[in-house]
Structure 1
Amino acid sequence: MRGGPPQAEQPDDGEGQAVLGTGPSSLYAHIVNKDDIDGLLIGRLCAQIVLPEPDPDAWQDQIRDVCAQLRDQYLKYPGVFRAALAMMPTNLDTLRVNEGLLAILLSGGIAPRTAAWAIDTLSLYVGAYALERSLLVQRQRREGDDWVLSRDDLVGRFEALPSDRFPQIRQHAGELTAGSGHDRFDFALGLIIGNLAHA
């Protein structure tokens, strides 16, 4: 649809309209195509992000906090983050967040190109994490989607695998399924942020 006239397709389940506080007819009176809608949606969410004053002594915690805010905004409106994965940031509110992230990273002594690529990496990870979480929640709500297993069920399946073919998975089933809340999100951010100075 890039560059073409607006079609009947709307943001998932009317969530985009809810975020922008408008309906389809008034929305299309002010935008060119669906790409414009995506930019407005992500910009509206980014406007809610609180950016700290860059602190060289706390830059890693500041980056984690901004990423967690973005994660929570995406999870509040499942489906909206799909737009973020496929767009270049041009909305001023979106650029404000990128400006803030860049300022934080530079204050921590991160080289400019490394900082720029880190913003891209972090944005992709936050979006992908939100996508995974929202898909899981959607499938848990559907009747008949019994493939969504509890941790105990998953551990049981791993431990029942043939020991000659899957010895490591059997032995470490607990570790493979460990974590609650956003533990894995925090772990992945730690890996990315902790290695920036050496990139």
Structure 2
Amino acid sequence: MSPTPQERRAARHGLIGSAPPARRGRTAPITVEAIISTAFGIVEREGYEALTMRRLATALETGPSSLYAHVVNKEDLDELLIGRLCAAIELPEPHPDRWREQIAGVCAQLRDQYLRYPGISQAALAAAPANLDTLRVSEGMLAILLAGGVPPQTAAWAIDALVLYVNAHTLEVSYAKRRRNHSDDGWVVGREEMTGRFAALPDSFPQTKRYADELTAGSTEDRFTFTIELMLNGLL
């Protein structure tokens, strides 16, 4: 069995011993907590794409090698960040009559955590959950689904699908917000203009022309709620 990130981090500490000295001028010690806090600040201000080990080291006024005394690599940092966000998720006591509402609530909390830091859900994509805080959320979701009578295999795959949707949804919202904030050439259009474009399509698009209002209706929240409910209603 391959070592866990925690074991790899511990092994890394054993190889390095003490952390390399920070650059002159830095007075605060470099800790895992300082690394996580600074990384969140970078993502909040500049987006997840800006977060690199070199950019993080610069913000901490040290060299990249100093960071590796505390985190194994960028992937390890990603797990720490997602774990920190998951630690804030409140998990309800599973209730067989309220399981849909409870799961929807957990998904909404996760969405809101990701939206605080533009694009950070990328860090959770294609990553096997190993952080205990991340596993706590999946454990809680599994308990809720099982309490609702969802078969174990269905529940296991449902968690994967739900979390994947939350990741994709928040990533799309982050990209859309960034495009709106930085577009100065009219490329980004609103609902009214989009509806007009659909209505003006040639007759070879009869359904799109006819249902232009429906295709563009609803807020981001409406669409998120609809999709989560649609997924949950199909589990049984």
TM-score surpassing 0.5? yes
Q: State the partner residue of 2:217.
A: 178
Q: State the partner residue of 1:89.
A: 129
- RMSD between aligned residues: 2.3
Matched, 1:168 2:214: no
User: Following superposition, which runs of at least 4 residues in structure 1 exceed 6 angstroms of deviation?
Assistant: 10-13
Letter of the structure 1 residue corresponding to residue 170 of structure 2: A
Conservation of the 8 A alpha-carbon contact between 1:11 and 1:80: no
Aligned ranges 1:39-118 → 2 under 5 Å: 39-118=79-158
1:126-154 per-position Cα deviation (integer Å, ceiling 9, x unaligned): 00000110000000011325221111000
- In structure 2, stretches of 5+ residues that fail to align are 1-7, 13-37, 52-58
User: How high is the TM-score relative to the length of structure 2?
Assistant: 0.73
User: How high is the TM-score relative to the length of structure 1?
Assistant: 0.87
Percentage of pairs with the same residue? 57
Question: Following the alignment from structure 1 to structure 2, what is the Cα–Cα distance between the partners of residues 83 and 30?
Answer: 18
Letter of the structure 1 residue corresponding to residue 227 of structure 2: A
Q: State the partner residue of 2:42.
A: 14
1:12 Cα offset (Å): 8.8
Of 135, 138, 156, the match for 2:196: 156
1:175 Cα offset (Å): 0.1
Determine helix, strand or coil for the equivalent of 2:166: helix
Determine helix, strand or coil for the equivalent of 1:116: helix
Question: Following the alignment from structure 1 to structure 2, what is the Cα–Cα distance between the partners of residues 45 and 188?
Answer: 23
Determine which structure has more spread, i.e. the larger CA radius of gyration: 2
Determine helix, strand or coil for the equivalent of 2:189: coil
Conservation of the 8 A alpha-carbon contact between 1:12 and 1:79: no
Letter of the structure 1 residue corresponding to residue 229 of structure 2: G
